[in-house]
Structure 1
Amino acid sequence: MEEDIIKEIVKRVMDTIDHRKTIPLEVSARHVHLSQKHMEKLFGANYIMSKKKELSQPGQFQYKERVSLIGPKGVLRGVAILGPPRERTQVEISKTDSISLGIKPPIRQSGDLDGSESLYISTDNAVIKVVESVIIAKRHIHMTPEDAEKFNVRDNQRVSVRVNSERPVVFEDVVIRVSSKYKLNMHIDFDEGNAAGYQEDVVCEIVI
């Protein structure tokens, strides 16, 4: 009975939302972007990676292969690898993951790796240490220049965003990232998704 009441309340709230101004929400699980050099060290110089699926952002995809992350206090196995290869290896985890591993990565935008955390990455073939490569990704919204005009925001602007879910929450300090290569989507990690009661088809809206 209580669950039915909650669903009805959410439905009524959703009916009042201007869907022209909503943004799809996506939870990003822990993952690794490998450099070509590190990919060859972990899987072999002549190894051909297998693509599993396309991701929401154009040109981005997930490989079938997985790796393990090794920290001073623990190991996270079966971690996804995203492609294409990057110039510099980047590991993105949640705060909960960092506690399990025993490291203290900073909250950063993608690519801002100087002074970040280090750990080991392993496969069945090799173990490598990646230095200044680990961050907790700062929550952000990808959008095109046309989207930015519609929402009246600019690149690198910080905004507050309301998640319209069964556990509504407002996230502050969300970074706007604008590029013609992007597709409209807000990214948060699993810690944030759990706090907001995330489920598929949940949307959000900029409130400040």
Structure 2
Amino acid sequence: MKTVPIGVSARHIHVSRAHIDILFGEGYELTNFKELTQPGQYAAQETVAIVGPKGKFDKVRILGPARPNTQIEISRTDAFSLGVNPPVRESGQIADTPGLKVIGPKGEIDLERGAIVAARHIHFHTSDAEKWGIQDKQLLRVKLVGERPLIFEDVIARVSEQFALDMHIDTDEGNAAGVKTGDYAEVLD
């Protein structure tokens, strides 16, 4: 059986260096609050508010380190509350996505684009992918065995020497299956 740990991602934001300077002040450095499963990635101590046409969320966690582009990852339920309709996308694919206002302690940004519902995916270290015969960008079927078991189709395999084995789903998906971070899923094919 091919099992992978599950990581349920709550709403969060990745911020560019230029936007960190606007939101927190010139030269500000994010503070590592907690290491994440992917090497070199961390939840920052810092949070911001995000504002859409219909609603606002305070204390949205920044994930570090700084990224080339600012990107906000929300669930479909979050999108309804904010009043936006972001596409389901892989991280970094922010063309033709809605923007939101981001408010920090020192400034704010009106993003023209950057809000997505993250496509469910599994990070594979190259050695794990080779062992299981999985290719980068391959679409997988994955069974989540929680309170309400279900099978997800079109789970994107992301393969890199930089990754650690981990499946990423959002809170809507985790709630639908009754799973939480640290539970396991089974790769079917």
TM-score band (shorter)? over 0.9
Instruction: Name the CA distance, whole Å, in 2 between partners of 1:150 and 1:159.
Output: 15
The alignment covers a number of residue pairs equal to 189
RMSD over aligned CA atoms reads 1.0
1:72 and 2:57 are equivalent in the alignment: no
The 5 Å alignment of 1:110-149 reads 110-149=91-130
TM-score (norm 2): 0.97
Deviation at 1:47, TM superposition (A): 2.7
5+ residue gaps, structure 2: none
Task: Report what 2:140 is aligned to.
Answer: 159
Task: Label 1:71 to 1:199 Cα distance change in 2 as closer, same or farther (>3 A).
Answer: same
SS in 2 for 1:77: strand
Find the structure with the greater CA-based Rg. Answer: 1
Matches within 5 A, 1:1-208: 18=1, 21-208=2-189
Deviations 1:14-63 (A, max 9, x none): xxxx3xx2100110111000000000000000333221111000000111
With normalisation by structure 1, the TM-score equals 0.88
AA aligned opposite 2:10:
A
Change in CA separation of 1:102 and 1:125 when aligned onto 2, cut-off 3 Å? same
Q: Deviations over 1:57-94 (max 9, x none)?
A: 00001110100000000001110001110111111000
Q: CA deviation at 1:200?
A: 4.5
CA–CA separation in structure 1 for the residues paired with 2:4 and 2:161: 17
Kept after mapping to 1: 8 A contact 2:145/2:179:
no
Q: Distance in 2 between matches of 1:125 and 1:99?
A: 28
Query: Quick one: distance in 2 between partners of 1:79 and 1:68?
Result: 6
Instruction: Give the number of the structure with larger relative contact order, counting CA–CA contacts within 8 Å between residues 6 or more apart.
Output: 2
Moved segments of 4+, more than 2 Å = 46-49
Indicate the percent of aligned positions where both proteins have the same amino acid: 46
How far 1:151 sits from its partner (Å)? 1.8
Q: Displacement of 1:117 after TM fit?
A: 1.1
